[in-house]
Chain A
Amino acid sequence: SAVISQKPSRDICQRGTSLTIQCQVDSQVTMMFWYRQQPGQSLTLIATANQGSEATYESGFVIDKFPISRPNLTFSTLTVSNMSPEDSSIYLCSVQPGEETQYFGPGTRLLVL
């Protein structure tokens, strides 16, 4: 298994500002992902965080709004830029240490006022 931590665990932000979320894993993993879970909804993939290259974004998500860094195999950041109330959500980091498993971090609960 993999132990994943995220910071901050929650935040309340003003519209127009940006927040950077950190994800730390206790072991090296190749595959790392960022998901969003809006209130009462299931999880939606934002992007795959690639080490050493630009993240791969899903349809509807763009780098200018959600820049991602992946400087090494144990760490990644997701920035939510120029926030609006619609960005209020839980943001989850996820890793796939092996073919048969994928684990999620505890999530970052974001409220934008």
Chain B
Amino acid sequence: AQKITQTQPGMFVQEKEAVTLDCTYDTSDPSYGLFWYKQPSSGEMIFLIYQGSYDQQNATEGRYSLNFQKARKSANLVISASQLGDSAMYFCAMREVNFGNEKLTFGTGTRLTIIP
């Protein structure tokens, strides 16, 4: 079974600084996808970035980048130049496809607070 571990329950970061949110994963599947979602207090899960297990380069989407280290089974999210609007819960997830179905397995999340 797949497992996602996020070891930082909460983080406080000064506005405009960069922040790294940790994520490690465990799977025996050679093909997998890793996702990061942002969840503001409103509750909606907002897709941020995707990394495929066979991707040679780290994914980037605007201020978001993914530090993918396959041998260490880690997929850390890096947010550059943090903004007050980045304050939210952040979830790392792994997509599993088996026997014609798909599901996401989520970590427990990291609550990020940006300090003005």
- Chains A and B belong together in one complex: no
Listed in ascending order, the chain A residues whose CB lies under 8 Å from chain B are none
